[in-house]
Amino acid sequence: MEDRKLQERAREAVGHFDLPGEPGIPCPWGSGHINDTYLVEGEHRYILQRMNRKIFTKPLEVMENIIGVTSFLKEKIKKAGGDEMRETMTVIYTKDHEPAYRDEHGDFWRMYYMIEDAVSYDQVESEQDFYESALAFGNFQQLLSDYPAETLHVTIPGFHDTKARYEVFQHAVKQDICGRAKDVEEEICFYLKRKETAEYLGSLLAEGQLPLRVTHNDTKLNNIMMDKKTGKGICVIDLDTVMPGLAAHDFGDAIRFGASTGAEDEKDLSKISCDMHLFELYTRGFLKGCQGSLTKMEQMLLPMGAKVMTYECGMRFLTDYLQGDTYFKIHREGQNLDRCRTQMKLVADMEDKWQEMERIVQECHSLL
């Protein structure tokens, strides 16, 4: 019922966009955890999204970032002889020339052209795809290396401030508003015990040992469209969190999701580990995509980026579980706890494979 009502509202929203012809009924699409996404058929195919208003409290600032970044990328793509309609996203404006439509409930809806003949994966299906996604995410960071970072709005303050996330987690444990803490003591201890992991990258940044770059900050595999014909990572999507950040964040988030041998919410933890072959492929692709722009220190910290981002994401899932599942979309009871457990298994596995991860990064670096 709820879904049907939302779909009705989605239909109403479509009517406010400047589209040729008679667009069809919006159908739920994709598997993102944050926004409500629909596919709309018409003269072209479009993506319609209700932006998550709890998370993005200033939706027009998010849209300003996205328009800024995609216009900047379009210029570079054109100069390189590429296809600006496929290699970055295109925002569709409303009939009132606004980048999003605000409905009577106060929700913001936006539309993009669908990136055609391309697919986004929820899990690695072929090694080559994973390598290509690394190349594309590295290249994305490289293309934005001369973007005026000071013009970007901070869409989610402290998004990858792992130390601040640790404090929010501690608070959630103390408050325990759902009475769930007693059943997840082992998980809580796991995160509390690793406080130094939460502080590691932030301390180096504060000491001036790491540069802030314009980063994507949400580099999971399903946030990139892969060309069905060529297998290339054609277009980086989900630009809501493009903000100043660390190279290690973008590298690390992609590893925690894509180099895992199982799904993010897999219940059978025996299926979860960090695949070193995939780790190596991603490292090679990412470094190549960055075209030598990373400092020695940034390169050395790639394994730490993988561990910190996996730790942070698992702690966010556990925080959300303790707070009653209000941030990440869930489709079944306990899904955030299952997600948290896969991330714990991955962190522990990375700790066991630490020397191997460091060796791989060293070797990939010397191949450059």
Footprint of ligand GN1 on this chain (CB under 6 A)?
32-34, 55, 218, 220, 223, 238, 240-241, 253, 264, 313
Q: Which of 220/288 has CB closer to ligand GN1?
A: 220
Does 223 bind Mg ion (CB under 5 A)? Our answer is: yes
Write down the residue that tokens 């003591």 correspond to. 185
- By CB under 6 A, is residue 225 in contact with ligand ADP? yes
DSSP 178-221: TS-GGGGHHHHHHHHHTHHHHHHHHHHHHTT-S--EEE-S---G
What's the half-sphere exposure (Cβ side, CA atoms, 13 Å) at 262? 17
Contact yes or no for 190/344 (Cβ under 8 A): yes
Task: Indicate the SS3 state at residue 274.
Answer: strand
Binder among 89, 111, 172, 272 for ligand ADP (CB under 6 A): 89
Give yes or no for residue 32 binding Mg ion (CB under 5 A): yes
Q: 55 or 149, CB closer to ligand GN1?
A: 55
Bridging pattern class, strands 108-113 and 224-227: unpaired
Q: How far is the CB of 318 from ligand GN1 (least distance, A)?
A: 13
Residue 35 interacting with Mg ion (CB under 5 A): no
Q: Which residue has 């796991």 as its token pair? A: 190
CB atoms within 10 A of CB 300: 15
Q: Which residues of 127-149 are buried (b: 16+ CB within 10 A; e: fewer)?
A: eebbbbbbbbbbbbbbbbeebeb
Chain residues 23-42 in contact with ligand ADP, contact rule CB under 6 A: 29-30, 32-35, 37
- Is 305 in contact with 201 (CB distance < 8 Å)? yes
- Name the minimum Å distance from CB 240 to Mg ion: 8
Smallest separation, CB 354 to ligand ADP (Å): 30
Q: Which of 87, 238, 280, 338 binds ligand ADP (CB under 6 A)?
A: 238
Does residue 247 interact with ligand ADP by CB under 6 A?
no
**Least distance from Mg ion to the Cβ atom of residue 293, Å:** 25
* Distance in Å, CB of 33 to Mg ion, minimum: 7
Q: Are 51 and 105 in contact (CB under 8 A)?
A: no
Output the six-digit token pair for 361. Answer: 């990064």
> Residue 313 binds which one of ligand GN1, Mg ion, ligand ADP, none, with CB within 5 to 8 A depending on kind?
ligand GN1
The structure tokens 């508003």 sit at 177
- Closest contact distance (angstroms) between CB of 36 and ligand ADP is 8
**Closest by Cα among 278, 281, 219, 257 to 346:** 257
The answer to whether residues 365 and 287 touch, using CB atoms and an 8 Å cutoff, is yes
Interacting positions 228-257 with Mg ion (CB under 5 A)? 238
The site for ligand ADP, by CB under 6 A, has a size of 19
Taking the least distance from each CB to ligand ADP, the nearer of 30 and 244 is 30
Q: Which residue has the tokens 């695949």?
A: 275
Q: Which of 112, 147, 159, 200 binds ligand ADP (CB under 6 A)?
A: 112
Q: What is the total count of residues that contact Mg ion (CB under 5 A)? A: 3
Whether the CB-CB separation of 133 and 224 falls below 8 Å is answered with yes
If the CB atoms of residues 36 and 349 are measured against ligand GN1, the closer one turns out to be: 36
- CA–CA dist 105, 8 (Å, integer): 13
3-class DSSP assignment, residue 226: strand
- Residues in contact with ligand ADP by CB under 6 A are 29-30, 32-35, 37, 47, 89, 112, 114-115, 120, 222-223, 225, 237-238, 240
Residues in contact with Mg ion by CB under 5 A are 32, 223, 238
